[in-house]
Amino acid sequence: MIPTFVLAQDDNEISFDTIVNDLSRTKATLSNVNDSSIDPFDNVQIHVGVGIANSVFTIQHPEGIPGSTQANSRGAQINLGIDLFSPNWVAEGGMVNYFESEYSRSKVSGQEFDLKLLYKNQLENAVTFKVGMGLAARYMDVTYKTERAAKNDKGEDIKIHEEMKERYTTPTTLAVVGADIYLAKMLSIGGEVLARNTLTNETPDQTSIDFTVRLDAHF
């Protein structure tokens, strides 16, 4: 009877090991199925924002019009961005519509479109810091004010005021730094500082510094 008992015990031990191995293989299979069903787009966030932009730049007047204009243009801004399969990298496009600003020798208005690549890093629970770079195109309308001396019908000296309107397209590179404060999980308020440098010498605005305040909704 002793050999028979030992044989039965060996059979039981082998059977137990087999069950454990089968369960392990089943668990691994289920884990692989679950991993393969994870959609990479589940962690992708989209944000939409509105804001106010302020751009400071110098306009060099064309030949025949003395001086230059120190412009300080304000406008309304909208943005749309998406995470690049990571919470740290974001692609964002934006548009700014600048209101007409009047100065002593000119009037300035325009629109701007940009595309930025941003890196974000969370400093605290509700504060996010970001830096980035991109490209932009600014379409600017400038109306130059001129005056010339003339005489009226009585022979008196008078000044005639005239206007000359020009439209410029300025491609630029840009660098941006900013921060956002999350008021809620899906709502943030933030600010940015942008430095722009033109890619051409054919426009009267060569560099600019922009400041923006914005409100974003995150989905």
Supply the pLDDT for residue 120: 95
If you average pLDDT over residues 91-109, what whole number do you get? 96
Q: What is the pLDDT of residues 115-152, one digit of tens each?
A: 999 999 998 789 999 999 999 999 999 999 988 888 88
Contact (Cβ atoms closer than 8 angstroms) between residue 77 and residue 98: no
Supply the pLDDT for residue 15: 61
Most confident range (mean pLDDT) of 16-25, 149-158, 182-191 is: 182-191
Distance CA 31, CA 20 (A): 17
According to DSSP, the β-strands at 68-83 and 157-184 are unpaired
Distance CA 172, CA 201 (A): 11
> Which element (helix H / strand E) includes 219?
none
Q: In the CATH scheme, what architecture does the domain 40-218 have? A: Beta Barrel (2.40)
Q: Which pair of structure tokens corresponds to residue 42?
A: 């589940």
Alpha-carbon distances of 129 from 120, 122, 143, 149, rounded to whole Å: 6, 6, 39, 56
Distance CA 134, CA 112 (A): 13
Q: What is the mean pLDDT of the chain?
A: 86
Answer with the residue of higher pLDDT: 107 or 125.
107
Distance CA 106, CA 62 (A): 12
Answer with the residue of higher pLDDT: 178 or 40.
178
For 67-100, b where at least 16 C-beta lie within 10 A, e where not — what string? eebebebebebebebebeeeeeebebebebebee
pLDDT at 159 over 70: yes
What's the whole-model pTM score? 0.77
Q: What are the boundaries of each domain within the chain?
A: 1-38, 40-218
Supply the pLDDT for residue 88: 93
**Residue 19's pLDDT band (boundaries 50, 70, 90)?**
low
